[in-house]
Chains A and B, each alone.
Chain A
Amino acid sequence: MQHAITHGPSFALLRVDLLPGESVVGEAGSMVARHDELAMQVRLNAGESQSSWARVKALIVALVRRFIGGETLFVNHFSTARGGSVWLAPPLAGQIVHRRLNGELLLLSRGAYLAHTGAVTLNLKFGGLRGLLAKQGAFFLAVSGHGDLWFSSYGGVEPIDVTGSYVIDNGHLVGYEGDLSFSIRSAGGGLLGLVASGEGLVCEFHGHGRLWIQTRNLQSLVGWLGPLLPR
């Protein structure tokens, strides 16, 4: 399997070339184009399941993901016996990042997941009150296993290697490595700093590992656009 990311950072497009027998899983609605030799199967976004009870359980998990995690209920499996390519893209203007997973854990903000291959599992992780305050929803998508992962950002994406601690605006968080942890605090310190700085709450990350920020913030776009629309 080979892949290419083009048209970044504003309008990144992912092409995955599959050899006979290979497959790739993509977020529902992310397909731009594919060779006809690739079969597309719709599956519940809840992992592999065999028995009928497991399928019911998968549906419940997928529903929880849809309504709480902000992810789509379904993913598309592209597989091929003859080989071919599939092109995938996220809905918003932004970049696509590739990450090879070798057993480590990665946590993605809602909506950041685009595609994966191999033995990669996707699970919802409850972020507790911190996650709720971080505007990213109470849930993160925990991605682990062995395989390729692609995630997307709104705007450009910047990796930051944290050694010790680092503070980021929570609306700009794309994802972080599982060795990191974060706490929520006021950007300016105290109540005045919270209200007057215009920055609201920030995430302070601790530990050693990499995190990814996006150079634009969807909430800010919506906050700007909303009042401009005709009522």
Chain B
Amino acid sequence: MHVEILYRPAHALARVVLAPYESVTAESGALVGMSPNLKLETQSGGLLSGVKRFFGGESFFRNTFTAPAERGEVLLAHALCGDLRVLDLTQAGFFLQSSAFVAATPNVQVETALGGLRNFFSGAGLFVLRVTAASPGLLVFGAFGGIEELVCDGNLVIDTGHLVAWDATLDYTIGKSASGWLMSFLSGEGLVCRFRGQGRIWIQSRSPSAYGRKVGSLLPPRKG
């Protein structure tokens, strides 16, 4: 499987080229186009995991595209304006904001991790995704705006609205951005993730919720 990212960074498109008999698993709704020889299978992975995914902020279904005896290609995109990034899967795996998943090689295990209250407060819903694989593979994820890779050396504080993905080697806590709750509220930063340990963090240069608040406040009020 070979992935090429076009139209970066504002309207990125992933062109996934599949060798004969290769497959790629993509988020439902991510399909833009595909060669006609590809076989499309939709799976929910059982009702329970489908429901779990649904509540994790993803779609209920995920699609697998498989090439026949000749090569094929599939074009995939994220819902929001912004960049896409391809990562080689690591032993430790990644954590991903639930809406960031776009596609992966079929050997990837995507688990919806119920992070409990701390994730609820991160503004990203109750769930994060844990992405792991026993063998080498690729992950494609999307973001709102540009994607910047930061190297954490035990000391990074990230606004939860800008957090997209991070190495599972990192430990994190969700907390207030300033010294007190009042000051955190006044600072406009809301909640932040404090990362400990060594690893990479991918951030998005725009926050969907901050954008929504800015534009939403100017829209006419809804009736009823």
Contacts and interface: CB of A to CB of B under 8 A. Distances in A.
A and B held together in a complex: yes
Interface of A: 6-7, 10-13, 27-37, 40-42, 72-74, 76, 84, 87, 89, 91-93, 218-219, 221-222, 225-226, 229-231
Contacts of B203: 32-33, 87
Interface of B: 9-10, 81-83, 145-146, 148, 150, 154-159, 162, 177-178, 183, 186-189, 194, 201, 203, 205-207, 210-211, 213-215, 218-220, 222-224
A35 B155 contact: yes
B102 to A, nearest CB: 18
A29 B210 contact: yes
Contacts of A29: 187-189, 210
Contacts of A222: 215, 218-219
B177 A31 contact: yes
Nearest to A14: B205
17 contacts: A6-B205, A7-B9, A7-B148, A7-B205, A10-B145, A12-B205, A29-B210, A30-B188, A31-B189, A32-B205, A33-B158, A35-B157, A36-B157, A40-B177, A74-B188, A84-B155, A93-B206
Given A12-B205, A89-B162, A42 B183 contact: yes
A76 B179 CA distance: 12
* Closest 4 pairs between A and B when the two form their complex, measured CB to CB: A7-B146, A29-B188, A11-B145, A28-B188
Contacts of A11: 9-10, 82-83, 145-146, 205-206
A226 B224 CA distance: 16
B83 to A, nearest CB: 8
Contact of B159 (A10, A31, A73): A31
Given A11-B206, A231-B222, A6 B158 contact: no
Contacts of B224: 231
B219 A91 contact: no
A92 B159 contact: no
A12 B83 CA distance: 12
B187 A40 contact: yes
A68 to B, nearest CB: 16
Most buried by A among B81, B154, B188, B224: B188
A73 B186 contact: yes
Contact of A40 (B178, B194, B220): B178
The SS class assigned to the A binding surface is mixed
A37 B157 CA distance: 10
A13 B205 contact: yes
B218 to A, nearest CB: 5
Nearest to A12: B205
B189 A36 contact: no
A72 B178 CA distance: 17
A63 to B, nearest CB: 13
B155 A36 contact: yes
Given A33-B156, A231-B222, A225 B189 contact: no
Contact of B188 (A72, A229, A231): A72
Contacts of B178: 40-42
A76 B148 CA distance: 22
Given A31-B189, A32-B203, A72-B188, A13 B219 contact: no
A7 B145 contact: yes
A138 B187 CA distance: 26
B186 A42 contact: yes
A229 B146 contact: no
A74 B187 contact: yes
Given A42-B187, A91-B214, A231-B223, A6 B155 contact: no
